[in-house]
């Protein structure tokens, strides 16, 4: 089968072997922190410094984190697709910067980015590398109202119109390293099937919606994604 328009979706599993931690696996982030406290607007209103501490630690962890073979394989696939005049969009739920570090460019962070902040007061957004505190002043309006530019539960993920447009036109949809527990991303496979696309799941183990995919390959992302990309690149044609 030949594919000219791909949409790839990644989740925490693609970064697990880079040491970033997943959310719902044994020992995962949501087994150690209450998501209501650190990943909702209400939690931020109740205790903003707790939220800052949580994201400060995760932002700090990015400094030493390196992309693994799965990130590199997806970047290789993007270059091969572009060289053949084909289209690829990589949609990630991850807030880390490992796809960028591996060289991916056609990338959409639907849940935001750890290395960006937004001002709750004036709405300005920008790159941010340092720790955030409740009195960290916004560079534009001067108030201490900065928050991590990540999407919390109850908020609208970024780029949804563009994502749905690309899925509606894709001939291959691939879900990588995500549990399929969180919507709207968990519903993308249904949109892709409606568009007539081939659907593939690459994950450590079958996800809760594994049956919705036409094809599944299971094992650590560093191996499974790398092998799948190598197979696919051989079949890409202009
Ligand atoms: P989850 O923690 O829910 O799922 C991670 C998936 O990765 C699981 O299905 C694991 O089996 C799989 N996995 C673990 N290690 C792997 C490896 N080495 N190789 C391949 N797969 C592996 O994380 P997400 O699905 O990304 O949202 O979670 C989705 C969203 O829920 C996140 O973006 C975050 C979270 O709450 C927000 O914070 C808004």
The Cα–Cα gap between 32 and 17 comes to: 19
Q: Is 64 exposed, middle or buried (0-12, 13-18, 19+ CB in 10 A)?
A: exposed
Ligand 1 atom, smallest distance to 23 CA: 2
CA 101 to CA 78: how far, in whole Å?
Answer: 14
Which amino acids are annotated catalytic? 111
Residues having CB within 6 Å of any atom of ligand 1: 11-13, 16-17, 22-25, 28, 39, 93, 111, 151, 153, 177-179, 181-182, 203-205, 207, 220-221
Tell me the mean pLDDT in the region 209-218: 97
- Tell me what pLDDT residue 2 has: 77
Q: Which of 23, 151, 184 to mutate to test the pocket of ligand 1 (most atoms within 8 A of CB)?
A: 23
Cβ neighbourhood burial of 210 (10 Å; 0-12, 13-18, 19+): middle
Q: Compute, in angstroms, the gap from residue 92 CA to the centroid of ligand 1.
A: 11
CA of 179, closest atom in ligand 1: 9
**Radius of gyration from C-alpha coordinates of the chain:** 18
Q: Predicted confidence band at 236 (pLDDT cuts at 50, 70, 90)?
A: confident
In the chain, % of residues over pLDDT 90: 95
Asked if 105 and 92 count as a contact pair (C-beta separation under 8 A), the reply is no
Q: What is the pLDDT of residues 83-116, one digit of tens each?
A: 999 999 999 999 999 999 999 999 999 999 999 9
Q: How confident is the model at residue 1 (pLDDT cuts 50, 70, 90)?
A: low
- Report pLDDT digits (tens) over 9-67: 999 999 999 999 999 999 999 999 999 999 999 999 999 999 999 999 999 999 999 99
Mean pLDDT over all residues of the chain? 96
Banded pLDDT at 79 (limits 50, 70, 90): very high
CA-to-CA distance for 79 and 47, rounded, in angstroms?
A: 44
- In the DSSP assignment, the letter for residue 187 is G
Which residue, 67, 92, 107, is CA-closest to 12? Answer: 92
C-alpha–C-alpha distance, residues 236 and 84, integer Å:
7
pLDDT band of 233, cuts 50, 70, 90: very high
Stated length of the chain: 238
Ligand 1 center–CA 13 separation, angstroms: 5
To which H or E segment does residue 225 belong? helix 221-233
Is 70 exceeded by the pLDDT of residue 238?
no
Is residue 192 over pLDDT 90? yes
Distance CA 112, CA 128 (A): 13
Mean pLDDT of 159-188: 97
Rounded to whole angstroms, the Cα distance separating 184 from 211 reads 18
Tell whether the torsion through CA atoms of 211, 213, 217 and 220 is positive or negative.
Answer: negative
The predicted model gives 178-193 an average pLDDT of 97
């Amino acid at each position: 089968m030949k594919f000219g328009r791909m949409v790839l979706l990644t989740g925490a599993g693609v970064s697990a072997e880079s040491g970033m931690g997943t959310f719902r696996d044994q020992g995962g982030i949501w087994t150690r922190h209450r998501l209501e406290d650190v990943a909702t607007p209400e939690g931020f209103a109740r205790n903003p410094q707790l939220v800052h501490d949580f994201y400060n630690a995760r932002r700090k962890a990015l400094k030493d984190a390196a992309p693994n073979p799965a990130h590199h394989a997806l970047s290789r696939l993007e270059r091969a697709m572009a060289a053949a005049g084909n289209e690829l969009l990589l949609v990630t739920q991850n807030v880390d910067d490992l796809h960028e570090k591996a060289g991916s460019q056609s990338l959409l962070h639907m849940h935001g980015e750890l290395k960006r902040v937004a001002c709750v007061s004036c709405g300005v957004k920008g790159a941010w590398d340092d720790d955030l505190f409740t009195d960290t002043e916004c560079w534009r309006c001067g108030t201490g109202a900065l928050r991590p530019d990540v999407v919390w539960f109850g908020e609208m993920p970024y780029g949804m119109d563009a994502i749905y447009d690309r899925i509606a036109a894709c001939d291959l949809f691939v879900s990588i390293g995500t549990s399929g527990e969180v919507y709207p991303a968990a519903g993308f496979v249904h949109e892709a099937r409606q568009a007539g696309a081939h659907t593939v799941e690459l994950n450590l183990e079958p996800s809760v919606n594994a049956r919705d995919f036409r094809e599944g390959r299971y094992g650590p992302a560093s191996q499974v994604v790398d092998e799948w990309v190598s197979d696919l690149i051989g079949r890409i044609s202009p």
